[in-house]
Every structure is written in structure tokens, then in C-alpha cells.
Structure 1
Amino acid sequence: MTDTAFYKSVAWLKCRAIVLKRDHYLCQECLRHDKLTPANIVHHIEPLDERPDLALDINNLETICPSCHNKEHPEKGGGKRKKKMKIKVHKEMGNPDIF
């Protein structure tokens, strides 16, 4: 099966929907850097061509934004880059005198 046929398959589309929902449509790479970035790309952590056995394994898939995907795959070119919305995440600490 070609990559194009795989990415149009019902199995992939269902798997992709599950991963997007699981990851709340947020870039997992950006989250690792405390940034909230909307995302709509499902990325194979272990590349599809190297590990076709993990093609539909949700533990090998994560949601990432176009910018992070371009960093993962510079060989595919960036095309037009859209400005991504970044939200800084700050952790609040409760007042210790209250507890």
C-alpha cells in the first residue's frame, strides 16, 4: 500500500480521529515546552517507513502542529508557514497559610 493510499484508508482516518481527540487537538511537542498550540497533524513517532507494524498503534502516534511537524520532517519542505498561536502555561501555587 502506498503512503497516499494508507493516509486515505478508513483504518487510518479512524485511528487519526482517536489520537486527535485523545490529545485534545494540542501539539504534544509544544506541551513538552509548556506551550499550548492547536494542532491537527497526527505524527508517527517511529517513522512509518521504518516501522510499518506500528502504523496504527496509537502509542506510536501523537498530535503535533505544522511547525513542529516541519521540524520533524525538514525533507518535506515547509511550504507556507502559518503563524501559530502560543499560550504560555503558568503554574499557580496556593497560599500555604490557607492549608
Structure 2
Amino acid sequence: MHPLCESCKRRGIMRKGDVVDHIIELRDDFSKKLDKNNLQTLCYSCHNKKTKIEKAKREKRKSQKLF
């Protein structure tokens, strides 16, 4: 793991990472739990944004299954 936020770094910003994040959330694929390639360092802000987006995607998929 790197000490910098991967998301910020991709945008040219050097910010300290605070959270080790599962790239593919465990709710979506629990088998990735121990996969080191499924981990990234994020700052709290980027982690919260990513979590919000992933939650919205799950809700959209869930609502599409109802129809």
C-alpha cells in the first residue's frame, strides 16, 4: 500500500491516504476479501465519495431487478 490517496494522485494532487479501501466492495464480491490487488489507499474524502457512488449503483441495480 502507498501512503498517498490513489484517487487524488490520479488527479495530480498529493494527499495523505487515511483508509485502505476495497476497490470492488465486499458487498459486491466477498471473495475479493483477501485479494491484495483489490486494495487501494484513499483519503477520507475520496473514500466517502466512492462509497456514495457504489451505494447508488447497488440501489439502481436493485430497482432494475424489480421490473
Return the structure number with greater relative CO, CA threshold 8 A, min gap 6.
2
Whether 1:32 aligns to 2:10 is yes
Query: What amino acid is aligned across from residue 53 of structure 1 in structure 2?
Result: S
Identity %: 38
Report the structure number with the largest CA radius of gyration. Answer: 1
Q: Take 2:24 and 2:9, find their aligned partners in 1: how far apart are those partners?
A: 19
TM-score, normalized by length of structure 1? 0.50
Deviation at 1:72, TM superposition (A): 0.7
Q: CA RMSD in A?
A: 1.1
Query: What amino acid is aligned across from residue 58 of structure 1 in structure 2?
Result: K
Number of aligned residues: 53
Q: Gaps spanning 5+ residues in structure 1: where?
A: 1-21, 76-99
Task: Please identify which structure carries the higher helix content.
Answer: 2
Q: Gaps spanning 5+ residues in structure 2: where?
A: 56-67
- Matching residue within 14, 31, 34 for 1:56: 34
Query: What amino acid is aligned across from residue 37 of structure 2 in structure 1?
Result: N
TM-score, normalized by length of structure 2? 0.72
SS in 1 for 2:24: coil
